[in-house]
Amino acid sequence: MLSITTKSVAETLALGRKIAPYLKKGDVIVLLGDLGAGKTLFVSGLLDFYNKKDEACSPTFTIVNEYDLKSDLKLFHFDVYRLESSDEFLAIGGDEFFEKGISVIEWGNRIADVLPKDALFINIEKSPDDINQRVFSFSSSGDKFNNLLKEVNLKWKF
Ligand code: ADP
Ligand code: MG
């Protein structure tokens, strides 16, 4: 499993910027980790690659925020923490977004049964001995993200 440690907010933003160019329409990324782990900040890094970082805000109450990354590419930033069940996600048409752009889903394990077969999971953990350190652990279901994981592993340097 690929594991990357960031030592600051800036490094987490840089990690997001590094991964963003590998993401394509139809990709689903699930972000896991406690409150304050850095899930939303990582999304800011993804948006920063497209110069949209300053528009990033947490979709805790709206469930989904939509960003136009470029003319033919959207990013849907979900936070499903407040949903009771995956049925509720389906009821708001959540799964209909998946094919329309890149979907990044905070707390996506709560809707595990409606995620596509291929998904990239990023688990973010706080470090017990450094308040500015986070460990990002990557795993995926299916083969779709194998190349991304290989490339990020090879090219990850500050
Ligand atoms: P989440 O969306 O997982 O609840 P946020 O991204 O909203 O978390 O918040 C992460 C918090 O942790 C921010 O206040 C940020 O300043 C802080 N932080 C400290 N170090 C890091 C780091 N290395 N990566 C990400 N966030 C960090
Ligand atoms: Mg968040």
pLDDT tier at 45 (50, 70, 90 boundaries)?
very high
What pLDDT sits at residue 53?
79
pLDDT tier at 156 (50, 70, 90 boundaries)?
confident
Q: What is the pLDDT of residues 104-155, one digit of tens each?
A: 999 999 999 999 999 999 999 999 999 999 999 999 998 999 999 999 988 8
What pLDDT sits at residue 54?
73
Cβ–ligand 1 contact at 4 (below 6 Å): no
Output the 3-class SS for the chain. Answer: CEEEEECCHHHHHHHHHHHHHHCCCCCEEEEECCCCCCHHHHHHHHHHHCCCHHHCCCCCCCCEEEEEEECCEEEEEEECCCCCCHHHHHHCCHHHHHHHCEEEEECHHHHHHHCCCCEEEEEEEECCCCCCCEEEEEEEECCCCHHHHHHHHHHCCC
The Å distance, Cα 78 to ligand 2 centre, comes to: 9
Q: What is the pLDDT of residues 17-29, one digit of tens each?
A: 999 999 999 999 9
Mutate to test the pocket of ligand 1, among 41, 124, 129, 136 (most ligand atoms within 8 A of CB): 41
What pLDDT sits at residue 1?
86
| pLDDT at 158 exceeding the cut of 70 | no
Task: Give the mean pLDDT of the chain.
Answer: 94
